[in-house]
Structure 1
Amino acid sequence: EGGLAVAAAESLIGSTGLGADIKVKGNATSALFSESQSRFLLSVKKENQEAFESLVDATLIGEVTEAPILYI
């Protein structure tokens, strides 16, 4: 529960020093906290990004970082 912002934070809990840099367009509150059924948060390795995007209609909203900070 909590939308993409909470899902991103929860995915970093317990990680070994990883963080994320997330940027959303439009209404940030809706984009980050909406719990609609059509939202999923996935991590895809850079080398697999092109293949993934050819199979799935997705929007890139950020990147995993090596700094243990979540930037939104």
Structure 2
Amino acid sequence: MKITKIRKNADGDITNVLTDEGIEMDVSKAVALAKLGQVDSVIVRKNKNGNDVIVSSSNSSLENNLDNLPTF
């Protein structure tokens, strides 16, 4: 599955994602699925607070950067 759209909070943090299968989920669920290899074009990294987050894989084009995806 691939993330196609995002939702951000007032601080600009991604809170939810929408997949190409029409599934909406919060970021923690997306992180869990990414750890299992079920989300294409993302990798799991630690943020500055030590929390797991998903980021675009290094081979993704700029257009596919999670922050640049359309919102829903």
- Fold equivalence (TM over 0.5): no
Q: Which has the larger radius of gyration?
A: 1
Alignment TM-score, normalising by the size of structure 1: 0.24
Greater RCO, CA 8 A, separation 6+: 1
- Give the structure with the larger strand fraction: 2
TM-score, structure 2 normalization: 0.24
